[in-house]
C-alpha cells in the first residue's frame, strides 16, 4: 500500500554526499537540508570528510553523520568499506527517503539503499563524470556505473536538460526529471562597496579601482579553460587597455596559471585572488562575467552573476543554456574558441547599453528561480512508495 505524507507525522530524508567541501553539489544539499518544510520533513546529512559543509550544517543545527570511509576513490576495496559503513548507517537511521548526491555516493548509496530497503531513493545528477577528458573506454565504464545508479534509484533529478540528453541509454530518461537549482543570495554589496571591500582584502587591485573589471569565478581546473580566457583577454588589452581581469577560485592549476600570467607580462592586468568567501555578494563589483568551460552541468556561478545583474559571456555547453536561454539574456559562444571570445568581449565592452539590458532581462528571470521553489518541487518527489 502506498504511504503518503498524510499518514506519517514526518518523513526522514537522509542526504548523502561524498565530499564536505563547498562546491555546487554541497550548496544544493545545504539549501535543501535547511529549507525542507520542517512540519513534514526531518533532515539528516551523511557526508565524507570534515570540510566547510559539515561546519555550516552543524552551525545550522542540522543532524550530521560523518562517514569516515566515504571517499572520492574508485578503489573497489574502498568502495566496499564505504558500502558497509553506509549500510550500517541506513539500518540505524531508517530513513524514509535517501537522497543521493555526487558520483561515488550515488552508486554506493543506491546499492546500499536497496539492500537496506529504503522506501524511496532519489539521486540528483549534478553532472556526469564521463564528460571529462578521459580515454573512451574509461568514459564508457563510468557511464555504465552512472546508468546503474539511475536504474537503481526511484527517481533521478537532473539539474539541467543536458544531463538528461547525455544519459541516453535505454530506460534511463524515463526515470529522470529536470529541476533547475534555485539560488537565493540575499544582500549583495553595491558596486562601490564591493570594490572597496575587495581592495581591502587584495590591495593589488587599488590602482585599478576605476578600470573596467572582468571576472571569472570558477575552480582552477582544466575543464574551465582559464587559459583560453587569458589569451582572449590579452588580445583585447591591445586595443582597450583600461581593463582588469580578476580570477576568483582555487584549484590544481593555480601555479600553472600564475606562471602563464607572468610569462605574458600581465601581472598588472590579471589577478588571481584564490578563494573569496561569499564571492557571490561581491559580484556587483564587476562589469562583465565570463565562463568559458568545456563542460558545465548547470553553472551556479552564472546563476549568481545573473542575479547580480552583471553582463555574461559563457560557452554554449551542458546546462548553461538552461540559464541563458535567449540572446537577449547574454552571449553564448562555442567552447575552445579564442576568436569568438575576443569578439564577444569586444561586443560586451563596447555595447554597454545593450549588455546592461541583457543583464537586467536575465536578472528578472532568475529572481523567480529561488531555493524555496526548488525545494517545493523536490519535496513532491519525497512521497514514499
Q: Are residues 196 and 158 in the same domain?
A: no
Q: Are residues 157 and 295 in the same domain?
A: no
Range of the domain at 337: 191-366
Mean pLDDT to the nearest integer, 115-124: 97
More confident residue, 185 or 244: 244
Q: Which CATH number fits the domain that encloses residue 310? A: 3.40.50.2000
Is this prediction's pTM over 0.75? yes
Hey, how many other C-beta atoms are within 10 angstroms of the C-beta on 346? 15
pLDDT of 385:
58
Contact (CB, 8 A) for 95 and 12:
yes
Q: Are residues 153 and 212 in the same domain?
A: no
Closest-CA residue to 57 (of 41, 46, 68): 46
Lowest-pLDDT choice from 19-28, 190-199, 276-285, 330-339: 19-28
Q: Are residues 93 and 207 in the same domain?
A: no
**Rounded CA gap, 213 and 36, in Å?**
38
Count how many domains the chain has: 2
User: Over 90: is that where the pLDDT of 8 sits?
Assistant: no
Q: Are residues 323 and 203 in the same domain?
A: yes
In a domain, 273, yes or no: yes
Mean pLDDT to the nearest integer, 355-378: 97
In a domain, 216, yes or no: yes
pLDDT of 74:
72
Q: Are residues 111 and 195 in the same domain?
A: no
Tens of pLDDT, residue by residue over 148-160, are 999 999 999 999 9
pLDDT of 322:
96
Element (H, E) at 290: strand 288-291
Q: Are residues 44 and 124 in the same domain?
A: yes
Q: Are residues 146 and 214 in the same domain?
A: no
C-alpha angle 300-14-121 in degrees, rounded to nearest 5: 85
In a domain, 169, yes or no: yes
In a domain, 252, yes or no: yes
- Work out the burial of residue 42: count CB atoms within 10 Å of its CB; fewer than 13 is exposed, 13-18 middle, 19 or more buried: middle
Helix ranges (H only) for the chain are 24-35, 52-59, 76-93, 103-115, 136-152, 161-166, 191-201, 226-237, 254-263, 300-307, 338-350, 352-366, 371-379
Q: Are residues 253 and 286 in the same domain?
A: yes
In a domain, 22, yes or no: yes
Confidence of residue 132 (pLDDT cuts 50, 70, 90): confident
Contact (CB, 8 A) for 175 and 366:
no
**Rounded CA gap, 281 and 48, in Å?**
28
User: Over 80: is that where the pLDDT of 58 sits?
Assistant: yes
Mean pLDDT to the nearest integer, 119-142: 92
Each residue of 45-73: b (16+ CB within 10 Å) or e? bbbbbeeebbebbeeeebebbebebbbee
Mean pLDDT to the nearest integer, 232-249: 96
Share of the chain above pLDDT 70, in %: 97
C-alpha angle 375-300-69 in degrees, rounded to nearest 5: 75
Mean pLDDT to the nearest integer, 229-234: 98
Q: Are residues 169 and 215 in the same domain?
A: no
The pLDDT mean for the chain works out to 94
User: Over 80: is that where the pLDDT of 247 sits?
Assistant: yes
Confidence of residue 384 (pLDDT cuts 50, 70, 90): low
User: Over 50: is that where the pLDDT of 68 sits?
Assistant: yes
Cell numbers of 90, please? 541506513
Contact (CB, 8 A) for 86 and 16:
yes
In a domain, 176, yes or no: yes
pLDDT of 184:
87
More confident residue, 102 or 234: 234
Hey, how many other C-beta atoms are within 10 angstroms of the C-beta on 127? 24
**Rounded CA gap, 297 and 174, in Å?**
19
* End-to-end Cα distance, the chain: 8
Closest-CA residue to 177 (of 315, 382, 384, 370): 382
pLDDT of 131:
85
Q: Are residues 115 and 13 in the same domain?
A: yes
Contact (CB, 8 A) for 159 and 133:
no
Report, in angstroms and rounded to the nearest whole number, the Rg of the chain calculated over CA atoms: 22
pLDDT of 1:
38
**Rounded CA gap, 28 and 36, in Å?**
12
pLDDT of 277:
87
**Rounded CA gap, 171 and 169, in Å?**
7
Residue 214 pairs with which residues in a beta bridge?
245, 288
Contact (CB, 8 A) for 282 and 189:
yes
In a domain, 186, yes or no: no
User: Over 70: is that where the pLDDT of 7 sits?
Assistant: no
Q: Are residues 157 and 222 in the same domain?
A: no
Amino acid at each position: 500500500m502506498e504511504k503518503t505524507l498524510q499518514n506519517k507525522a514526518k518523513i526522514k530524508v537522509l542526504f548523502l554526499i561524498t565530499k564536505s567541501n563547498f562546491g555546487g553539489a554541497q550548496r544544493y544539499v545545504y539549501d535543501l537540508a535547511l529549507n525542507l518544510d520542517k512540519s513534514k520533513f526531518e533532515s539528516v546529512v551523511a557526508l565524507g570528510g570534515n570540510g566547510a559543509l559539515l561546519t555550516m550544517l552543524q552551525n545550522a543545527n542540522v543532524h550530521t553523520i560523518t562517514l569516515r570511509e566515504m571517499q572520492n576513490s574508485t578503489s573497489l576495496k574502498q568502495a566496499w568499506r564505504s558500502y558497509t559503513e553506509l549500510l550500517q548507517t541506513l539500518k540505524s537511521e531508517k530513513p524514509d527517503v535517501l537522497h543521493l548526491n555526487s558520483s561515488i555516493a550515488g552508486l554506493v548509496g543506491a546499492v546500499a539503499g536497496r539492500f537496506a530497503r529504503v522506501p524511496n531513493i532519489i539521486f540528483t545528477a549534478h553532472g556526469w563524470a564521463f564528460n571529462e577528458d578521459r580515454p573512451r573506454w574509461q568514459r564508457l565504464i563510468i557511464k555504465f556505473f552512472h546508468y546503474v545508479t539511475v536504474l537503481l534509484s526511484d527517481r533521478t533529478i537532473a539539474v539541467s536538460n543536458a544531463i538528461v540528453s547525455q544519459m541516453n541509454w535505454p530506460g534511463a530518461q524515463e526515470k529522470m526529471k529536470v529541476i533547475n537549482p534555485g539560488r537565493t543570495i540575499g544582500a549583495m554589496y553595491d558596486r562601490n562597496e564591493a570594490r572597496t571591500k575587495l581592495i581591502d582584502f587584495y590591495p593589488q587591485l587599488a590602482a585599478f579601482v576605476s578600470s573596467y573589471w572582468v571576472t571569472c569565478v570558477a575552480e582552477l581546473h582544466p575543464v574551465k579553460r582559464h587559459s583560453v580566457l587569458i589569451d582572449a583577454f590579452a588580445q583585447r588589452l591591445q586595443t582597450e587597455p583600461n581593463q582588469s581581469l580578476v580570477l576568483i577560485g582555487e584549484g590544481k592549476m593555480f601555479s600553472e596559471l600564475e606562471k602563464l600570467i607572468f610569462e605574458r607580462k600581465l601581472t598588472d592586468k590579471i589577478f588571481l585572488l584564490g578563494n573569496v568567501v561569499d564571492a557571490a555578494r561581491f559580484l556587483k563589483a564587476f562589469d562583465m562575467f565570463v565562463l568559458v568551460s568545456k563542460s558545465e552541468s548547470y553553472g551556479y556561478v552564472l546563476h549568481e552573476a545573473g542575479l547580480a545583474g552583471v553582463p555574461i559571456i559563457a560557452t554554449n555547453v551542458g546546462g548553461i543554456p538552461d540559464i541563458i536561454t535567449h540572446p537577449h539574456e547574454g552571449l553564448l559562444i562555442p567552447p575552445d574558441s579564442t576568436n569568438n571570445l575576443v569578439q564577444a568581449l569586444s561586443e560586451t565592452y563596447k555595447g554597454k547599453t545593450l549588455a546592461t539590458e541583457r543583464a537586467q532581462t536575465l536578472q528578472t528571470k532568475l529572481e523567480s528561480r529561488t531555493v524555496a521553489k526548488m525545494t517545493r518541487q523536490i519535496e513532491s518527489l519525497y512521497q514514499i512508495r
